[in-house]
């Protein structure tokens, strides 16, 4: 019953908080009942509106109708609260998925940036090596490889 503590009994039409709690208990009990049990209870309640002389007790009948209307309000409110809880859970699940997707995209972007950085570092390093080696009139590793490949090619053509 703690999940219904935030309900305002006056806004729902009850005379007291106790009356609202009794209604909640009735509705929860009826929700657990089968159709036959509910019909039996409805007949007993209808029978209780007849006094000992066999006359209809309109005061009890009106009070029973008022409580039944309030029970319907409670049942609707319970259904609404359950639907809101379900929607909230779905929203939280969607948010978790969106966060995971966002994190995945972020990691992917970081990996791309790291790869690009490495590529640029290698390019700059090669350019710097070429500049420094040419300044000192020394061949770079790539130039040496190229020269060896050309020499090999020429040797194979001379044979």
59 pLDDT higher than 60: yes
How many CA atoms lie less than 13 Å away from 8 in the CB half-sphere? 2
Q: What is the CB neighbour count within 10 angstroms for residue 24?
A: 19
d(CA 74, CA 61): 20
pLDDT tens per residue across span 7-56 = 888 888 899 989 999 999 999 998 898 888 888 888 887 777 787 888 88
pLDDT tens per residue across span 132-154 = 888 888 887 788 888 898 888 88
pLDDT tens per residue across span 35-48 = 888 888 888 877 77
pTM of the model: 0.60
- For the chain, the average pLDDT equals 88
d(CA 25, CA 1): 8
Cα dist. 130→25, 26, 103, 141 in Å? 86, 89, 41, 9
2 pLDDT higher than 70: no
pLDDT at 159: 67
Range with lowest mean pLDDT among 42-46, 89-93, 112-116, 125-129: 42-46
pLDDT at 37: 87
Between 34 and 99, the higher pLDDT residue = 99
């Amino acid at each position: 019953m703690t999940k219904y503590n935030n309900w305002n009994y006056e806004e729902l039409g009850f005379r007291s908080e106790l009356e609202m709690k009794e209604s909640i208990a009735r509705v929860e009990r009826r929700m657990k009942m089968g159709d036959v049990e509910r019909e039996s209870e409805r007949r007993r309640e209808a029978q209780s509106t007849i006094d000992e002389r066999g006359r209809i007790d309109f005061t009890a009948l009106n009070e029973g109708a008022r409580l039944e209307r309030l029970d319907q309000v409670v049942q609707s409110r319970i259904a609404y609260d359950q639907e809101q809880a379900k929607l909230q859970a779905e929203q939280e699940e969607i948010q978790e998925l969106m966060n995971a997707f966002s994190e995945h995209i972020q990691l992917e972007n970081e990996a791309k940036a790291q790869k690009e950085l490495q590529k640029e570092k290698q390019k700059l390093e090669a350019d710097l090596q070429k500049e420094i080696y040419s300044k000192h009139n020394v061949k770079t590793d790539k130039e040496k490889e190229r020269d060896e490949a050309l020499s090999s090619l020429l040797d194979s053509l001379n044979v």
